[in-house]
Each structure stands twice: as C-alpha cells, then as structure tokens.
Copies of this chain bind each other. A is one copy, B any other.
Amino acid sequence: MSIRRGPKIANPTSSEASSDLGKTIQRLRKAYNLSLGELSEQSGVAKSIISQIERNETNPTLSTVVRLSRALETTVDEVLRGEQTSLFVDHQTKSGIPILESQDGLCRLAIVGPLNLVEAFQWYDFHAQVGGVLESSPHPLGTIEHLYIVSGELEVTTGSETKIGKAGEALRYRADVTHKIRNLGTGAAHAVMMLALKQFGAQQ
C-alpha cells in the first residue's frame, strides 16, 4: 500500500492533476440533468466507473475521460482545470461550462434536451426556490433570452426594465446586458429558458 512505483505522485488515487476531476464531472453531469446510467449510455463508460471517477476513487484512462468530456460537450482540459468560472452562466467562451447553482444556492440551471446543441440556441431548465435570484452577466451582443414560465412567478430585470411573469406566460428580453431573474412568489418557480444568439434566427 505504501510503497508505490511512481516517485512523483503524491497521492495514488486522486488523479494528481490537482483540481479534482470528479467534482467537475459531476457538476457537468448534473447540469445536463443526467443520471449516472444516462451518462453511461451516452458516453459508453460504465456507470460504476463514472461513480468512482466522481468520487475521485480512480485514476481514469485517457480514453475514458475523452468519452466523458465528449458526452458532456466539453474538452478534457476544461474538465481538468475545473474552472469554477466563479460566476453563474458564462457562455461567452464556447464550450463554456454551465453551472449548477446560483450563489445563494436557490436557483438551478440545467441544460435541456439532447446533447450536441447547435451553437445558436441554448435551452435551459430553470428552477428557483422562494427568494432565489439568478444574476447573469451579459451574453454576446444581440443575444435574446426567452423565458417560459411553467409554474410560479418570476420577475425579470434587464437593464433598467423590470417585468413580472406568471405561470404560462413567456418573457422575452435582451440578454446582452446584465440581467436578473428573481422568484418573488410564494412558492418555487419553474421555467424553461432559451438563449438565442445573434447569428441567425434571433426570433423564434
């Protein structure tokens, strides 16, 4: 147990690449709302292994990591560095990493639908508990955000304008400025968000 071959590696199991891979993989998996089984199917990696990787109990093979990062629409390096990006949604950088929870822990964004999205559109599933606030820094110029409120009540502030939407309503607003989504209602809120980047089809 003690005597190992590698004289350099401090820690036998954890991948030695400082930032724990596991947490990042898990964050991404959850951001896509995938279960271990689903990611296993998508990536071709046994779910038992994914489980172990997420808990840093194994030192995965390169091919395994490649398959996982492909299924998660990202690159190996991106997964490696773990980049919290510190903020919430930051898609400026393509293949940016969507993140799970807002700072207050009350909001949750998840990428919706099939993987392999085209660049121009991004779908999200948005959950906000009472009082939750999601603040996003500006997206690329021309980006429009569509918010379809499934249940609850949400207030959107973009620039200096503020609007309130109730269940069944849809809000549409520019997302190339700082914007906020707030749950001021009495219960949890659920919405579907679409981000349309400028390129083509800014409408619909």
Contact = CB atoms under 8 A, between A and B. Distances in A.
A21 B64 CA distance: 14
Most buried by B among A16, A63, A66: A63
14 contacts: A6-B44, A7-B44, A8-B44, A8-B67, A15-B63, A15-B66, A16-B66, A17-B62, A17-B63, A60-B61, A61-B62, A76-B77, A76-B80, A77-B77
A85 interface: no
Interface residues of A, number: 22
A8 to B, nearest CB: 4
Q: How many copies does the complex hold?
A: 2
Contacts of A76: 62, 76-77, 80
A202 interface: no
A80 B66 contact: yes
A158 B7 CA distance: 49
Contacts of A15: 62-63, 66
Interface in A11-59: 15-17, 21, 44, 59
A15 B9 CA distance: 23
A65 interface: yes
A157 interface: no
Contacts of A75: 77
Contact of A61 (B8, B61, B67, B77): B61
6 closest Cβ contacts across the A-B interface?
A8-B44, A77-B77, A16-B63, A17-B66, A76-B76, A75-B77
